[in-house]
């Protein structure tokens, strides 16, 4: 289960002079840093200095921002190597590592749970940020694999001991989830008066993998990560997108004697057909008890119970999609932040495939030694991959306070987005 948390803390710095219109840039989407406005993302806020009534009104409108103020991570104990996979699927370590850059992944087993990893990563983020659970105003769980159909965020809020019953809810955006969560947190801080927002990314993709399909089982793992920032401007610009046309698929049904299902793809009449343009795990309807249907019930009622199919992916399409849109979204975020790629200290991408990481870095003219990656150890952990990699880079001393990071996620939906942020 991939899991990640992030914290944001807004600050309202001293405004001892009236702010001119030239000192602020306001964009249709994303943020522009200001010379007088400080931004933070975990999200605890302070007010400094004395302001006039008009200045106070301005600070309420645009003076708050997000800054990551801590990070944490958690992974399952059980490790599956490429050699382990070769024991039950036709593959080998060289074949996997050359094509993906992955050598190991962690998988939930036994009593491990998505919620447990989320809680552990969140607690580490709170500890680094020095924020008490009672001071959390909002919990955002970014996940495509919750353990409760109606969302898992409230259970995490309860386990953390948030006694004031802050709002907690799930966000579904697949591998882009954590970036979307950070931007959502900033919107609550900027426009809603929230102060401490906990952003968690969690995905147990191993539960939806066909472990006999070497095209997908080699890619995914479970993990948890969390991120929080510090005092000055922390989130400078962002850019978010989705494209439903990239998720063209047909639900997988089966013919039944009394209730045949007719499916249509591109105006072609089909049955038992599944089409995947990029990446998805569609609803699969289970066969019902024929005795129940023959007992005078209306055809098609009661509804059939359903589950999700295993993950389906078109690897070539995903690669072409990612190397096209990820550089574009990062360049857009940099433009909104008033920065260039030369201003980036680290490139932090969703950890999907080493070839994608290298291709994006090359197109942005960022040296490979400035690309943060732990893909070899964990594989694709979906919404957890960005904060998990960030946490390891921070705790190892690679990422230092003041470093500027370009982060980008991309995945099923299709969804993609980026954010330019500063650590520490």
Listed as ranges, residues in the chain with pLDDT below 50 are 11-29, 31-41, 43-64, 229-232, 249-276, 289-292
What pLDDT is stored for residue 200 in this prediction? 92
User: What is the end-to-end Cα distance of the chain in Å, rounded?
Assistant: 28
Q: What pLDDT shows up at residue 311?
A: 83
Catalytic residue check, 380: yes
pLDDT in tens, 90-124: 999 999 999 999 999 999 999 899 999 999 999 99
Query: Whose structure tokens read 């406005």?
Result: 37
The confidence score (pLDDT) of residue 313 equals 79
- The structure tokens listed for 41 are 């993302």
Q: Which residues pair with 269 in a beta bridge?
A: 264
pLDDT at 7: 55
Q: Note the pLDDT of residue 80.
A: 97
Do the Cβ atoms of 171 and 140 come closer than 8 Å?
yes
Distances (CA, A) of 235 to 34, 93, 157, 272, 273: 11, 39, 25, 47, 44
At 419 the pLDDT is 96
pLDDT given for residue 291 in this prediction: 46
Query: Any catalytic annotation for residue 142?
Result: no
Query: CA-CA distances (angstroms) from residue 230 to 11, 193, 238, 421?
Result: 10, 18, 18, 11
How far CA 178 is from CA of 81, 245, 290, 292, in Å, comes to: 26, 22, 44, 44
Among the options 8, 66, 142, 175, which is catalytic?
A: 175
The pLDDT value given to residue 307? 75
For 260-296, what is each residue's pLDDT tens digit? 333 333 333 333 334 445 555 655 655 554 444 555 5
**Catalytic one among 350, 353, 374, 377?**
350
Q: Is 8 a residue of the active site? A: no
Predicted TM-score of the model (pTM): 0.78
pLDDT at residue 186, as a whole number: 84
- Which listed residue (3, 82, 377, 380) is catalytic? 380
């Amino acid at each position: 289960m991939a899991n990640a948390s992030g914290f944001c803390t807004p600050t309202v710095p001293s405004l001892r002079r009236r702010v001119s219109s030239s000192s602020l840039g306001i964009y249709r989407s994303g943020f522009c840093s200001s010379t007088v406005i400080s931004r933070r993302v975990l999200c605890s806020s302070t007010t400094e200095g004395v302001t006039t009534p008009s200045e106070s009104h301005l600070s309420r409108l645009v003076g708050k921002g997000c800054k990551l103020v801590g990070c944490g991570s958690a992974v399952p104990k059980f490790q599956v190597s490429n050699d382990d996979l070769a024991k039950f699927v036709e593959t080998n370590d060289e074949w996997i590592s050359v094509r993906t850059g992955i050598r190991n992944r962690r998988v939930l087993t036994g009593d491990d749970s998505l919620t447990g990893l989320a809680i552990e990563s969140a607690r580490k983020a709170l500890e680094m940020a020095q924020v008490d659970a009672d001071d959390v105003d909002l919990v955002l769980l970014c996940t495509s694999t919750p353990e409760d159909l109606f969302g898992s965020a409230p259970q995490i809020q309860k386990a953390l001991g948030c006694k004031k019953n802050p709002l907690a809810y799930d966000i579904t955006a697949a591998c882009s989830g954590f970036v979307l969560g950070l931007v959502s947190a900033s919107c609550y801080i900027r426009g809603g008066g929230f102060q401490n927002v906990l952003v968690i990314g969690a995905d147990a993709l191993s539960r939806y993998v066909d472990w006999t399909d070497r095209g997908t089982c080699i890619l995914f793992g479970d993990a948890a990560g969390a991120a929080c920032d510090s005092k000055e401007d922390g989130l400078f610009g962002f850019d978010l997108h989705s494209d439903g046309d990239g998720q063209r698929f047909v639900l997988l049904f089966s013919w039944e004697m009394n209730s045949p299902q007719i499916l249509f793809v591109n105006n072609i009449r089909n049955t038992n057909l599944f089409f995947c343009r990029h990446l998805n795990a569609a609803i699969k309807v289970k066969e019902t008890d024929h005795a129940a249907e023959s007992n005078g019930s209306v055809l098609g009622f009661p509804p059939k119970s359903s589950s999700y199919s295993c993950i389906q992916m078109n690897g070539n399409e995903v690669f072409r999609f990612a190397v096209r849109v990820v550089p574009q979204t990062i360049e857009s975020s940099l433009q909104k932040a008033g920065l260039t790629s030369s201003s980036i200290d680290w490139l932090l991408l969703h950890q999907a495939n080493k070839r994608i990481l290298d291709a994006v870095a090359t197109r942005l003219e960022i040296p490979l030694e400035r690309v943060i990656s732990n893909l070899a150890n964990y594989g694709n952990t979906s919404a957890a991959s960005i904060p998990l990699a960030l946490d390891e880079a921070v705790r190892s001393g690679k990422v230092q306070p003041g470093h500027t990071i370009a982060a980008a996620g991309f995945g099923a939906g299709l969804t993609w987005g980026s954010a330019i942020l500063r650590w520490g």
